[in-house]
Amino acid sequence: MTNKHLTISWLYPELMSTYGDRGNIIVLQKRCAWREIDIKIEKISISTSESKLANCDLLFMGGAQDTQQEIVNNDLFNKKGEVLKELIEDNIPGLFICGAYQFLGKYYKTAEGKNLPGLGIFPLKTENPGEKHPRLIGNIVIERNRQKYVGFENHGGRTYLENPQMAFAKVLKGYGNNGKDKTEGIIYKNSIGTYLHGPILPKNPEIADWLIETALERKYNEKITLTPLDDSIEKAAQEIIINRA
């Protein structure tokens, strides 16, 4: 596949990137390069203008701890939030991990009880019950449409979806959104919100390809069939974690 180009807006790479989240960008870059799809990564920081963010075909934002989340929250809420909302509502595909996922809901109550308002794009809320309650940590296995995905989660926040049918997947092993209702993440328009760090894409290449394919189809308004790649190493890694769990 030639003559195709994708621009990825990577939000707050310095502040929002924990537990290997940067690996997701490497996977997107590689899987595009192997197929001769030209790819440009735009790093969007606090000092970056909203117009730069707006000019993209795919969105990515990783997780962070509460301190970084508070810094980013101000910029998102006062500056970039509106553009981000427009992009998501306009079906630009996106991957939002953990802290980023929490931001897109209605609010995130931190471990100290501080309420950080969210962008209200995803119909959900997140509450961290405080340091006395255990963080939800470990390897996680989830299932969506009979396909299993694996990752690593580490969060204090418990997310509750207004409509559990919108969950990205069902938890087979681990905690997911809140450790209780077996839902994991959300899928809203073409955006995925999830707690899976690890990072998620190297071990789950199907998700990477879904993002690339959806971004290309939306941009070029044509049916895209990506050239298959040899994913035997990725599948072996996935299987080991599923069996271990």
Choose between 157 and 199: whose C-beta lies nearer to ligand GLN. 157
Q: Are 84 and 54 spatial neighbours (Cβ–Cβ below 8 Å)?
A: no
Part in contact with ligand GLN (CB under 6 A); list of ranges 27-35, 116-124, 137-145, 150-158: 150-158
Part in contact with ligand GLN (CB under 6 A); list of ranges 4-12, 64-72, 143-151, 172-180: 64-72
Part in contact with ligand GLN (CB under 6 A); list of ranges 30-38, 58-66, 178-186, 208-216: 58-66
- Rounded-to-integer distance, Cα 92 and Cα 96, Å: 13
228 DSSP 8-state letter:
P
**How do 136-144 and 158-161 pair as beta strands?**
unpaired
Q: Residue number with the shortest CB distance to ligand GLN?
A: 63
Query: If binding is defined by CB under 6 A, does position 150 make contact with ligand GLN?
Result: no
CB of residue 145 to ligand GLN, shortest distance in Å = 26
9, 128, 177, 204: which one contacts ligand GLN (CB under 6 A)? Answer: 128
Which candidate in 32, 56, 98, 155 is catalytic? 98
Q: Are 183 and 177 spatial neighbours (Cβ–Cβ below 8 Å)?
A: yes
CB of residue 80 to ligand GLN, shortest distance in Å = 18
- Rounded-to-integer distance, Cα 76 and Cα 119, Å: 8
The verdict on whether 197 is a catalytic residue reads yes
**Helix orientation angle between 205-220 and 22-33, rounded to the nearest 10 degrees:** 60
- Rounded-to-integer distance, Cα 5 and Cα 224, Å: 13
- For the chain, what's the residue count? 245
Choose between 81 and 156: whose C-beta lies nearer to ligand GLN. 156
Choose between 153 and 234: whose C-beta lies nearer to ligand GLN. 153
The verdict on whether 56 is a catalytic residue reads no
9, 69, 177, 190: which one contacts ligand GLN (CB under 6 A)? Answer: 69
Please give the residues from 151 up to 190 whose contact with ligand GLN meets the rule CB under 6 A.
154-157
Give the number of C-alpha atoms closer than 13 A to the C-alpha of residue 26, restricted to the C-beta side: 9
- Phi then psi for residue 93, to 5 deg, are -70, 150
- Rounded-to-integer distance, Cα 206 and Cα 211, Å: 9
Query: Beta-carbon neighbour count of residue 38 at 10 Å?
Result: 12
76, 95, 98, 119: which one contacts ligand GLN (CB under 6 A)? Answer: 98
Query: If binding is defined by CB under 6 A, does position 65 make contact with ligand GLN?
Result: yes
Query: If binding is defined by CB under 6 A, does position 139 make contact with ligand GLN?
Result: no
Please give the residues from 10 up to 39 whose contact with ligand GLN meets the rule CB under 6 A.
18
- Rounded-to-integer distance, Cα 158 and Cα 128, Å: 6
DSSP state string for 167-213: -SEEEEES-TTTSSS-EE-EEETTEEEE--BTTHHHH-HHHHHHHHH
Residues that bind ligand GLN (CB under 6 A): 18, 63-66, 69, 98-99, 128, 154-157
Q: Which residues are catalytic?
A: 98, 197
